[in-house]
Amino acid sequence: MSTPHISIVSPVYRAAPIIDKLVERTSAAISKITPDFEIILVEDCGPDNSWDKIMENCQKYPYVKGLKLSRNFGQQHATQAGLDASTGEYTITIDCDLQDQPEEIIKLYNKAVEGYDIVVASRKERKDDFFKKFLSRSFYSVLGYLTETEQDSSVANFVLYSRKALDAISEMKDHKRYYPMLIQWVGFNTTKVEIEHAEREEGGSSYSFRKRLRLGIDTILTFSDKPLRLSVKFGVFISFFAIVAALILVGLYLVSNISVAGWTSLMVLVTFFSGIIISVLGMVGLYVGRIFEAVKQRPTYIVQKTLNL
């Protein structure tokens, strides 16, 4: 069996109504570039019949390949499963909700043949609600500050990788994966291409606020130790402030013979600093928890079934 020129990887979750359209539009778009391609659909153990639709397409088209994970591992790990299974000279990741349109793949490919190893799609105008766009901008601002990197809220999971760039990313054994950060870490010749963003198709999966918050925390803890460094700076500042305040109070007592009363204020301060201490210990505990997960060396995903692979 010949190696495909282009591999398309799409993690699928709760997307049964649009899988046929996803395969149809992706096939039509890639066929204009090359006849040698594969479409890898990774079913992340969703609550609907997405796997049945994937099986139908695998039976209909030999270039469509399916992976079904043993449980829900999350979008980033489902993407990893698809990338590990891909064999193309170029591999493109795209969400299943069709907001990133398959017809835009040609723009990424044309840029790649100019010599770029990674081409990232930048959405000119996001077709999302205000709340989602606000959360996205806020998250990327915080992530950029804490990881000391430049972040772009217009970039998501629509990315083209050359084989050597993908092999480099695959060698990274991070237990928690976030591909926009992995792309920055590995380097290579990287560029952005503006694309048109579409409205979400009916049936497309969507991150809940809780899942987005968890992904954000996991990403920050995985790629940055700055929260720990900030807590050290904050502790030094508080200690310096306490020493200055103590000297002032002692001076007032000696010079003015003023007794320093205030049981209530004392209890407020004790409670406040106890909360700070517990929060810092909790932050350290989160980092220790990530170390605990990593040293167990468990697989980040498990494939239950495959089709056409």
Domain ranges of the chain: 6-224+300-307, 226-296
110 CA to centre of own chain: 26
Confidence of residue 294 (pLDDT cuts 50, 70, 90): low
Q: Report the interhelical angle of 50-60 vs 19-31 (nearest 10°).
A: 40
CA 185 to chain centre: 14
Look at residue 135 and tell me whether its pLDDT is greater than 60: yes
Model confidence band, residue 74 (pLDDT cutoffs 50, 70, 90): confident
Q: What is the mean pLDDT of residues 166-170?
A: 83
Lowest mean per-residue pLDDT among 5-14, 96-105, 273-282: 273-282
Higher pLDDT, 98 or 278: 98
Helices (H), the chain: 19-31, 50-60, 75-85, 105-112, 130-147, 163-170, 179-186, 209-223, 226-256, 263-296
Q: Residue 40 — very low, low, confident or very high, per pLDDT cuts 50/70/90?
A: very high
Quick one: pLDDT band at residue 180, thresholds 50, 70, 90? confident
Least confident of 49-53, 62-66, 102-106, 242-246: 242-246
262 band by pLDDT with thresholds 50, 70 and 90:
low
Q: What are phi and psi of 93, to 5 degrees?
A: -100, 140
pLDDT in tens, 198-255: 766 655 555 556 666 676 666 666 666 677 777 777 776 776 776 676 677 667 666 7
Compute the distance between CA of residue 241 and CA of residue 243 in angstroms, rounded to an integer.
6
Q: Are 201 and 98 in contact (CB under 8 A)?
A: yes
**pLDDT number for residue 99:** 81
User: What is residue 17's DSSP assignment?
Assistant: G
Would you say residue 58 has pLDDT above 80? yes
Least Cα distance to 4 among 43, 31, 41 occurs for 31
Task: Specify whether the CB–CB gap between 161 and 169 falls below 8 A.
Answer: yes
Nearest to 192 by CA among 256, 122, 243, 127: 122
Spatial contact of 77 and 10, defined as CB atoms under 8 Å apart: no
Q: For the segment 152-162, what is each residue's pLDDT rounded down to a tens digit?
A: 666 678 888 88
Q: Could you tell me which residues are beta bridge partners of residue 38?
A: 7
pLDDT above 60 (res 54): yes
Q: Is 5 helix (H, G, I), strand (E, B) or coil?
A: coil
Q: What is the DSSP string of 49-117?
A: SHHHHHHHHHHH-TTEEEEEESS---HHHHHHHHHHH---SEEEE--TTSSB-GGGHHHHHHHHTTT-S
Q: What's the whole-number mean pLDDT along residues 103-117? A: 86
Q: What is the mean pLDDT of residues 63-70?
A: 89
Res. 64: pLDDT tops 70? yes
What is 6-224+300-307's CATH number, 1.20.5.510, 3.40.50.2300, 3.90.550.10, 3.90.470.20? 3.90.550.10
Nearest-5° Cα angle at 285, 282 to 288: 160
Nearest CA to 80 out of 14, 5, 155, 175 is that of: 175
Size of the chain, expressed as the number of residues it contains: 309
Q: What is the reported pLDDT for 211? A: 66
Residue 173 scores a pLDDT above 60: yes
